[in-house]
Amino acid sequence: MQPTTTTSTRIDINAGRLWRSLMEMASIGPSPNGGSRRLALTEEDAAGRRQFRQWAEDLGCHCRLDEAGNLFVRREGRDESLAPVAFGSHLDTQPLGGRFDGVLGVLAGLEVLRSLHEHDIQTRRPLELVVWTNEEGSRFAPAMGGSGVYAGRLESTSFFEAKDADGTSLAEALETSDQRGELPLGTPRLHAYFELHIEQGPVLEQGGEPLGVVTGVQGIRWYDVRFSGQSAHAGPTPMSHRRDPLLAAADGLVAMRDEVEADPSGNARLTVGEMKVVEPSRNVIPGEINLTVDLRHVDDDRLDELEALLHRRFDTAAAKAGVSVDIERRWWSPVTPFDPDLIASLDAAARGRGMTAPHMMSGAGHDAVNVSHVAPTVMLFIPCRDGISHNEAEYAEPEHCALGAQVLCDAILDRANLD
């Protein structure tokens, strides 16, 4: 039998097989309440990768690791001189994460390869299914580290020298988990990159939409903030004599919340994910408060304005309380538009399956943001129940997972067979 080669080829993926793969991966590193716990480069993460590699090698695919532990699964094309069409996501999770965030993109990609294999179809261009290292950033900061260092957007020293809470460096974790490879960073170069993901928000579900084509990702800025005052006894110190950094932080955050909620576009986001009292004690006025701030918007100019407001509101709150404040921007990602041709390819694939998928911006960062700086890139979303993600309750309907994988498969086939 000769491999099918026409550009009009369309095949149906196996929905049941995809779901079984998702559930089998979820059994590796399960969390207490039905979610997943596979922190980057832990034994659980390595076990998940080993299972995935075995599935890929069973199809005759060639698996390679780069120096950052990014895993590339290659299926040869008819013309190996051409750059590959790539797709994928990540297998690492939050400490108490879900079963679909990242995993869906990887295992839907595996289902694409399995379907091509059983239908004896060879694409013109080679294919690369990618598992990116340390996407979540929950063990090593920053997030999206593997794709960042691959795309040259993150310095290799920052990537390899990052340490977890126990003082283990990412470089050490790569070695102990046997995930450091020999492919040079930045290789292989890609012709195009597709990423399927759960939305991680409520828009698609509320609109009754089974799919969304992602036109870009909003800008993200992370800050470390320190309010410094004077610790003192809680009883003898009058309110008028206090230099309380916690109350200053609270005043600043309320003022900043008001600014964000007043944003006319409704697209501003403010999150404080961490707040710590240094040397806390029940009956002591704190001397120092450390917190993190996450600002997001779909417009970079408005993000500039929000950053300026953050400084002004925090400075005002600090001065009122007689304390000092230091704000350091730790990481940022600009508003990232995706490739118009690849957006059109997903539109066409959805239409080919009898639907029109709405266009939307992503509120979360993804590996696709980094890859978009070195290759044409696009994303496809499916709904998740109640918009919940980064949580053990995260859930996606089997039929939505299958539909996302199907549209992904159709678009990849078309792109990989283009002249």
Own/partner pairs, 352-356, CB within 8 angstroms, 24+ separation: 352/10, 352/410, 353/403, 353/406, 353/407, 353/410, 355/210, 355/211
- What pLDDT was estimated at residue 331? 84
Whole-number Å distance between alpha carbons of 362 and 2: 41
Between β-strands 359-362 and 212-217, what pairing exists: parallel, antiparallel or unpaired? Answer: parallel
Token readout for 219 is 């800008």
Token readout for 53 is 């590699």
Whole-number Å distance between alpha carbons of 177 and 287: 41
DSSP letters, 83-116, are PPEEEEE-----TTB-SSTTHHHHHHHHHHHHHH
Token readout for 94 is 């939050």
Distance between terminal CA atoms of the chain? 23
Tell me the residue ranges of DSSP E strands in 53-167. 62-65, 71-75, 85-89, 127-131
CB 115 within 8 A of CB 108: no
What is the torsion angle, in degrees rounded to the nearest 10, for the CA atoms of residue 164, residue 170, residue 174 and residue 179?
100
Token readout for 72 is 């590339």
Looking at residue 264, its amino acid is: P
Angle at 240 between CA 234 and CA 241, to 5 degrees: 60
Q: What is the pLDDT along the chain (419 residues), one digit of tens a residue?
A: 334 433 457 899 999 999 999 999 999 999 999 999 999 999 999 999 999 999 999 999 999 999 999 999 999 999 999 999 999 999 999 999 999 999 999 999 999 999 999 999 999 999 999 999 999 999 998 899 999 999 999 999 999 999 999 999 999 999 999 999 999 999 999 999 999 999 999 999 999 999 999 999 999 999 999 999 999 999 999 999 999 999 999 999 999 999 999 999 999 999 999 999 999 999 999 999 999 999 999 999 999 999 999 999 999 999 999 999 999 998 888 999 999 999 999 999 999 999 999 999 998 889 999 999 999 999 999 999 999 999 999 999 999 999 999 999 999 999 999 87
- What pLDDT was estimated at residue 10? 86
What is the torsion angle, in degrees rounded to the nearest 10, for the CA atoms of residue 411, residue 352, residue 12 and residue 20?
70
User: Which pTM does this prediction carry?
Assistant: 0.88
